[in-house]
Amino acid sequence: MKIPFFQTFNKKIKLFDLDWNDKIYLYDLTKKFPWTDSSVDIVYSSHTLEHFSRDDGRRFLTECHRVLRKNGIIRIVVPDLKHFVGEYIEGRILADDFVEKLDVLYRNSNNALKSRLSPFIQFPHKCMYDNQRLLEILTEIGFDARIRAGFDSDISDIRLVELEGRTENAAIVEGVKR
The dihedrals phi and psi of 131, each to the nearest 5 degrees, come to: -55, -45
Predicted confidence (pLDDT) at residue 72 exceeds the cutoff of 90: yes
Q: How far apart are CA 126 and CA 159, in angstroms?
A: 28
Residue type, 73: I
H-state helical runs in 90-178: 95-101, 112-116, 118-121, 131-141, 164-167
Q: How many CB atoms lie within 10 A of CB 173?
A: 25
Angle at which helix 131-141 crosses helix 54-67, to 10 degrees, equals: 50
Predicted confidence (pLDDT) at residue 102 exceeds the cutoff of 80: yes
Binning pLDDT at 50, 70 and 90, where does residue 17 land?
Answer: low
Identify which of 99, 79, 103 has the alpha carbon closest to the alpha carbon of residue 166.
Answer: 79
pTM of the model: 0.84
Q: How far apart are CA 116 and CA 132, in angstroms?
A: 37
What pLDDT, on the 0 to 100 scale, is given for residue 80? Answer: 98
Averaged pLDDT for residues 76-99: 96
Binning pLDDT at 50, 70 and 90, where does residue 111 land?
Answer: confident
Q: Residues 151-176: pLDDT tens digits? A: 999 999 999 999 999 999 999 999 99
Instruction: Tell me the average pLDDT of the chain.
Output: 90
List the domain boundaries for the chain. 35-177
Predicted confidence (pLDDT) at residue 1 exceeds the cutoff of 70: no
Q: Which residue has the higher pLDDT, 112 or 145?
A: 145
**Run of H or E residues at 6:** helix 6-13
What pLDDT, on the 0 to 100 scale, is given for residue 10? Answer: 67
What pLDDT, on the 0 to 100 scale, is given for residue 2? Answer: 53
The verdict on domain 35-177 having CATH code 3.40.50 is yes
Q: How far apart are CA 64 and CA 43, in angstroms?
A: 7
Predicted confidence (pLDDT) at residue 47 exceeds the cutoff of 70: yes
Q: How far apart are CA 6 and CA 107, in angstroms?
A: 23
Q: How far apart are CA 82 and CA 131, in angstroms?
A: 8
